Chain A
Amino acid sequence: MSQNIRIVHYINQFFAGIGGEDKAHVGVGVREGAVGPGRLIEQKFSQGRIVGTVFCGDNYATENPLDAMNEIIEAIQNLEPDIVIAGPAFNAGRYGMACGMVCEAVVERLGLPAVTAMHIENPGVELYRSKIYIVPAGASAATMADAVNPMVELAAKLAAGTKIGPADVEGYIPQGFRKNAISTQNAAERAVDMLLQKLKGEQVKTELPIPVLDRVVPPEPILDLKSATIALVTEGGIVPAGNPDHLEVGRSTRWAKYSLVGIVDLVEKSHDAIHGGYDCFYANKDPDRVLPVDVMREFEAEGYIGKLHETYYVTCGMASYVANCKRFGQEIGKELIEAKVDAVIATGT
């Protein structure tokens, strides 16, 4: 079986040699044979050859995903591949997303195997790892060879129709499920081995890693509410009518802030509840149910609190990745501290 596996390689405008950020808008194109990193892939992939390279600008791919994917898939299909390799995308966010999208579309629409590589922190990992095979790569193209080798190994197995084993055996980023297998030793024998390693101070490889989550300790209460500035922050998805910034309804990658100047009460049609994780009917009838501006204004008028901070912060927490949520908290917290806010009421749904 020499070189008869037909590979199509997907890359972005930069690796296609067209240009950097200034050329990120370019559309879909096709080159014959291997281009850029494809040459290294072809060199390593002894049983196959790259029959064509499909490229696309990162902005075009991520800002017009429907059109871009239709065009990319059509171009790939025309090349009649046995397998599609995308990237490596390293830690380039939009390139990673594009590689993920392309691989997902290849698997779902063409029924062909696909593999890509990117850095573990690339947002494309969290979005696509459950659906496709992603091999871990370094942060920059300097690590090209390290990323290409495992990607090619996995691609060769996929192309040959070999059953793919567990993540740490095959070297891909876990897709997020666990399957039973038979080990060579019983669990008790493995436990004693593991304990002896631990007692010697050696690195132990747990069979079931436990996610370590932060615990947020509530701060001390405010002593003098009457002079305190209090802000409203919500993950409940209350946005001005029409969702002007197209905030995501879940799996959020960003947050937004809006003015409360002159607003004493949120009413139906002034604001929308867009959250994808709860029935928004009652929140849309009266958005104060999630973002209690009305009550805060009453407190302000009574002098029970000093004042309501005139900007509120919002995102949708539903199924959002912890890493993103942590970043939201840090970014929002920084602004609130700069604005000399004393306390926050954070509502959740």
Chain B
Amino acid sequence: MKLELAKFLVNKIEFGEKTEYDNGLLRVNKEEMLGLIGEDYRIENLDVDITNPGDSVRIIHVLDMVEPRFKPEGGIYPGFLSPPHTAGSGRTNCLEGAAVVLTGEYSKTEKGLMVSREGLIDMSGPAAQYCLGAKTHNLVITSKAAAGISNADYDASIRLASLKAANYLAETTKELISENIETYELSDTAEGLPRVAYIYQIQSQGALLETFVYGSDAVNLVPTLMHPNEFMDGAVVSGNHSMQTVPTYIHCNNPVIESLYQRHGKDLCFVGIILTEGHGKTTFLKERSASFAAKIARLLDIDGVILTQEGAGMSMIDQMLACRECEKQGIKSVVITYEIGGMEGNDVPLIDSVPEANAIVSTGNREELLDLPAVEKLLGGKYIEGAFVLNEQTEASGAITVNFTIVYSSTNQAGAMKMRAMQY
């Protein structure tokens, strides 16, 4: 399976008369964009805005982030924008440095899982170095749920809107030739090197907290084998709006996949991806999932695995169980995880652990506090809700103190960021 990723670098986004990619400048015709994504009775107050790195802009109610990608022969975001045929071959164009940032305001009549657990992006200031989305040129979609529409329905409609918007923006490169084409192929030059797989956990708890594999939610997914290129074409799409979960942008630009590809044929043989679902709802499902993941690794004669998780407690247990099962089979493991160590960093940092997890990479303590200064412009809404902002009553454009939990993807669970926690 060979994929050519043709990159078109974006260094500015602005509104204009024609939607086009012009030598690094991405121009967007706002009316056309709204017409494309706005024909849905479930969405109200739909708008799009743009923002560039360094702007005094704060985006709140961030639900997902998508990289503009387009396949000239079709097949991007399979299961959503195209049939669920195996992706990951041929040519894919991407607007590197650009992103569609999806925000949204749910109806407040629903409770429990059906409430928003949103992120925040600051385009400048102290948070910008920590959050995903601060270094990209963003098209920001804002809207709210139409009256009488369930949050699950609204969520499904804005997800489709964000994918369409991403495809529409990257389509501007249809007739263009990139000078920067990267080829991704698991060549056979790696024979004799240690065989490595990536146990890639996604979370699907229910509506608003779900992840899609070829368009279908991954609830109770039996661990399955995938090629890394499939992810680059959007085979996995996030609908998982829970603080530090993995955005669609990262599913397409997964840093573990990127790092393993870079070492493939040099230090290791990258064999493939074992996709698992975290948040197994019973001990039975947890044990079955961990055993299946380790079994696939053993059948592939794997020497070492990297495990990431998505979610919190339940998913951490699943990750640890899979780690234990692999080590039991003699497969070396490294676990990437965030920490939930309290605001002072003195609480037990993991909800679950096994002694076999003796090689852990930390993506930081998500509960530490961060002070944010006031900004000139606020996008996405007016107030941040929930326990992760200490000034719930302050309009979110003001100076606020927040938990890293809502600093978008700052403790990214797939390992995309540079933050880590250190022992003092």
What's the nearest-Cβ distance from chain B to residue A119, in Å?
Answer: 20
Do B360 and A210 touch across chains, with their CB atoms under 8 A apart? yes
Known: A174-B423, A204-B359. A186 touches B263 (CB 8 A): no
Known: A187-B363, A195-B334. A180 touches B421 (CB 8 A): yes
Query: Interface residues of A toward B: which range?
Result: 35 or more
Interchain Cβ contacts within 8 Å, total number: 155
**Complex Cα spacing A243 to B417, Å:** 55
Q: Which residues of A contact B414 (CB under 8 A)?
A: 188
CB-CB contacts below 8 Å: B288-332 with A:
303-306, 332
Q: Quick one: which of A178, A184, A194, A206 has the most chain B CB within 10 A?
A: A178
Contact of B355 among A183, A190, A192, A212 (CB under 8 A): A212
Known: A191-B256, A195-B196, A210-B355. A178 touches B306 (CB 8 A): no
**Complex Cα spacing A62 to B337, Å:** 43
**Complex Cα spacing A274 to B339, Å:** 36
Do A208 and B362 touch across chains, with their CB atoms under 8 A apart? yes
Q: Quick one: which of B346, B414, B418, B423 has the most chain A CB within 10 A?
A: B423
Q: Which residues of A contact B364 (CB under 8 A)?
A: 180
Q: Which residues of B contact A162 (CB under 8 A)?
A: none
Q: Which residues of A contact B424 (CB under 8 A)?
A: 166-167, 174-179
What's the nearest-Cβ distance from chain B to residue A79, in Å?
Answer: 30
Question: A164's closest neighbor in chain B, by CB?
Answer: B424
Question: B194's closest neighbor in chain A, by CB?
Answer: A199
Do B336 and A180 touch across chains, with their CB atoms under 8 A apart? no
Asked if B22 is an interface residue, CB under 8 A from chain A, the answer is no
**Complex Cα spacing A168 to B422, Å:** 9
**Complex Cα spacing A174 to B345, Å:** 12
What's the nearest-Cβ distance from chain B to residue A259, in Å?
Answer: 40
Q: Which residues of A contact B333 (CB under 8 A)?
A: 195, 198
Do B341 and A186 touch across chains, with their CB atoms under 8 A apart? no
Do A179 and B345 touch across chains, with their CB atoms under 8 A apart? yes
Do B421 and A186 touch across chains, with their CB atoms under 8 A apart? no
Do A178 and B256 touch across chains, with their CB atoms under 8 A apart? no
Contact of A177 among B267, B345, B412, B419 (CB under 8 A): B345
Asked if A181 is an interface residue, CB under 8 A from chain B, the answer is yes
Asked if A196 is an interface residue, CB under 8 A from chain B, the answer is yes
Asked if B66 is an interface residue, CB under 8 A from chain A, the answer is no
Contact of A191 among B194, B254, B336, B341 (CB under 8 A): B336
Known: A178-B345, A195-B332. A185 touches B418 (CB 8 A): yes
Q: Which residues of B contact A198 (CB under 8 A)?
A: 304, 332-334, 359
Q: Which residues of A contact B73 (CB under 8 A)?
A: none
Do A183 and B420 touch across chains, with their CB atoms under 8 A apart? yes
Asked if A224 is an interface residue, CB under 8 A from chain B, the answer is no
Q: Which residues of B contact A210 (CB under 8 A)?
A: 350, 353-355, 357-358, 360
**Complex Cα spacing A189 to B254, Å:** 11
Q: Which residues of B contact A66 (CB under 8 A)?
A: none
What's the nearest-Cβ distance from chain A to residue B190, in Å?
Answer: 13
Do B304 and A187 touch across chains, with their CB atoms under 8 A apart? no
**Complex Cα spacing A290 to B212, Å:** 53
**Complex Cα spacing A188 to B416, Å:** 6
What's the nearest-Cβ distance from chain B to residue A85, in Å?
Answer: 21
Asked if B373 is an interface residue, CB under 8 A from chain A, the answer is no
Do B346 and A177 touch across chains, with their CB atoms under 8 A apart? yes
Do B423 and A195 touch across chains, with their CB atoms under 8 A apart? no
Asked if B129 is an interface residue, CB under 8 A from chain A, the answer is yes
Do B255 and A187 touch across chains, with their CB atoms under 8 A apart? yes
Question: B416's closest neighbor in chain A, by CB?
Answer: A186
Do A190 and B422 touch across chains, with their CB atoms under 8 A apart? no
**Complex Cα spacing A6 to B410, Å:** 44
Do A187 and B362 touch across chains, with their CB atoms under 8 A apart? yes
Asked if B259 is an interface residue, CB under 8 A from chain A, the answer is yes
Asked if B260 is an interface residue, CB under 8 A from chain A, the answer is yes
Do B267 and A196 touch across chains, with their CB atoms under 8 A apart? yes
Question: A200's closest neighbor in chain B, by CB?
Answer: B194
Asked if A22 is an interface residue, CB under 8 A from chain B, the answer is no
Q: Which residues of B contact A261 (CB under 8 A)?
A: none
CB-CB contacts below 8 Å: A64-109 with B:
none
Known: A179-B424, A195-B359. A187 touches B336 (CB 8 A): yes
Question: A175's closest neighbor in chain B, by CB?
Answer: B424
Do B256 and A179 touch across chains, with their CB atoms under 8 A apart? no
Contact of B421 among A179, A190, A194, A206 (CB under 8 A): A179
Do B353 and A181 touch across chains, with their CB atoms under 8 A apart? no
Do A178 and B255 touch across chains, with their CB atoms under 8 A apart? no
Known: A195-B334, A204-B359. A179 touches B368 (CB 8 A): yes
**Complex Cα spacing A190 to B349, Å:** 19
Nearest 10 pairs between A and B by C-beta? A187-B415, A188-B255, A188-B415, A166-B422, A178-B421, A177-B346, A208-B360, A178-B345, A177-B345, A207-B362
Q: What are 11 A-B residue pairs whose CB atoms fall within 8 Å in the complex?
A: A176-B424, A177-B346, A185-B418, A187-B416, A187-B418, A189-B255, A189-B259, A190-B420, A195-B359, A207-B420, A208-B337
Beyond known contacts A192-B334, A210-B355: 6 more, CB 8 A cutoff = A177-B344, A186-B417, A191-B415, A199-B196, A199-B332, A208-B362
Q: B: which residues have CB within 8 A of A?
A: 129, 194, 196, 254-256, 258-260, 263, 267-268, 303-306, 332-334, 336-337, 339, 341, 344-346, 349-350, 353-355, 357-365, 368, 404, 412, 414-424
Q: A: which residues have CB within 8 A of B?
A: 165-169, 174-192, 194-196, 198-199, 204, 206-208, 210, 212
